[in-house]
Amino acid sequence: MNLVHITASQAAEAIRAGKMTSEELVGACLGHIAAIEDRIGAWAHLDPDLALQQARDADLARQEGRALGPLHGVPVGVKDIFETTDMPTEDGTVLHAGRQAGQDATAVALLREAGAVIMGKTVTTELAVYAPGKTRNPHDPERTPGGSSSGSAAAVAACMVPFAVGTQTNGSIIRPASYCGVVGYKPTHGLISRHGVLQQSRLLDQVGVFARTIEDAALIAEQLMAFDDRDPDMRPRARPKLGETVADQPPVPPRLAFVKTPVWEHADEETRRAFTELVEHLGEHVGPFELPEMFNDAVTWHRTIMEADLAKSFEREYARGKDQLSATLREMIERGQKVLAVDYNRALDQISILNSMLDALFDWCDAILTPAATGEAPIGLESTGSPIFCTIWTLCGTPAISLPLLQGASSMPMGVQIVGPRGDDARLLRTARWLSSLTST
């Protein structure tokens, strides 16, 4: 077996059993990266010597009989907005060039605790907003990989690492996962700590993962779901048993609600046709559902919150270097500076109302079926594509996952997004695995 094609779960098991060393796996990944990185551009920082030293330390720990974590010796890519003690964190902007945080973000510390090898920092768009970095889509280098977690999605899709972490404030996990043909999972808001991660919007920022299988996404995310009182939106709770639940069959076949959302007109004709065929294939397992009229304003409310929060979070960058920001980000910050407090608070108030409406829907179904993106990854590298099919779910903080189940006319991947109720992530991932199995038959 080519080691770069191994899943995270397979790698962890093989290393634990002594069938493979971490150094062998990391060395294979580094060799593969060296061969294709010029074409893909997934990495903002990569130190092969540091990666190999971590792998050797992991192998020594096993040889000495020390306790091994669930991800022991497995390499991971980390989006370059997560602070790391031993690597720069530059946030995709020249304004933070050479920045050394001196500490690990909580998510990075938990990855190390689980035994993972921090391979390097993956490319992010400028301050994790819209202006693209250097990354290209591994399936077609003339197309965008999506953003803002561009490098993380591309690195997993190109088999540079078995898994990677990223963030989503609008569509930055689900959309690049769809474009790059990998699994992208954004948990319920507040399940993974954002301490030590670049803040755009406390209300909207959410940490997520990229992997090549649903089982891997569950394994990785579960390690990150430890309570951290430094994130004000986390609450003490037991870690969800994602891996254990995903491995089980649903007690009864799940029921899905096919939701076009109020932005259906943004879907490509090809996407509409593909979802019509998918719904027909699923038959009695899915039924159409139209969201209440109130959801028509969700994109506007999200934009109000996001742009006002960008103006606050990036006040220093704007003040000392606005000429070095992209025109797009500069304009978003300037619009955010003009948002009235009454409009901001009104937008905040809608989140709980929207979620109460979704709760009523989830009394009827197990999960929502909807597009992950408007279509295939667009040709061109000037933009990262539209996140509009993710916006509602990010605003509501619901868990969502993109599954690489469809293919467009240009043979590019297209993701299927399924969304679950807040806090019921394990059941959502189990439903995702059931759906993936059903569509592969």
pLDDT in tens, 149-166: 999 999 999 999 999 999
CA-CA distance, 125 to 134, in Å (whole number)?
Answer: 9
In a domain, 22, yes or no: yes
Does residue 137 have a pLDDT over 70? yes
Q: Strand locations in 338-389, DSSP E?
A: 367-371
Q: What is the CATH number of the domain that holds 388?
A: 3.90.1300.10
CA-CA distance, 371 to 261, in Å (whole number)?
Answer: 9
Contacts of 303 (CB under 8 A, 6+ apart): none
Q: What is the pLDDT of residues 299-312, one digit of tens each?
A: 999 999 999 999 99
In a domain, 341, yes or no: no
Does residue 399 have a pLDDT over 80? yes
* Domain extent for 356: 7-295+346-441
What DSSP letter does each residue of 381-408 carry, written as one string? SS-----TTTHHHHHHT--EEEEEEEE-
| Cα-Cα end-to-end distance for the chain | 25
In a domain, 309, yes or no: no
- φ/ψ region of 423 (left if φ > 0, alpha if ψ in -120 to 50, else beta) reads left
> Annotated active-site positions, please?
79, 148, 172
pLDDT at position 441, please?
63
Q: What is the pLDDT of residues 250-286, one digit of tens each?
A: 999 999 999 999 999 999 999 999 999 999 999 999 9
In a domain, 326, yes or no: no
Contacts of 220 (CB under 8 A, 6+ apart): 8, 71, 76, 163, 165, 209, 211
In a domain, 171, yes or no: yes
**What is the pTM (predicted TM-score) of this model?**
0.98
How many domains does one find in the chain? 1
Tokens 């394994």, residue located: 219
Q: What is the pLDDT of residues 315-357, one digit of tens each?
A: 999 999 999 999 999 999 999 999 999 999 999 999 999 999 9
pLDDT at position 1, please?
67
In a domain, 311, yes or no: no
In a domain, 163, yes or no: yes
CA-CA distance, 252 to 199, in Å (whole number)?
Answer: 40
In a domain, 317, yes or no: no
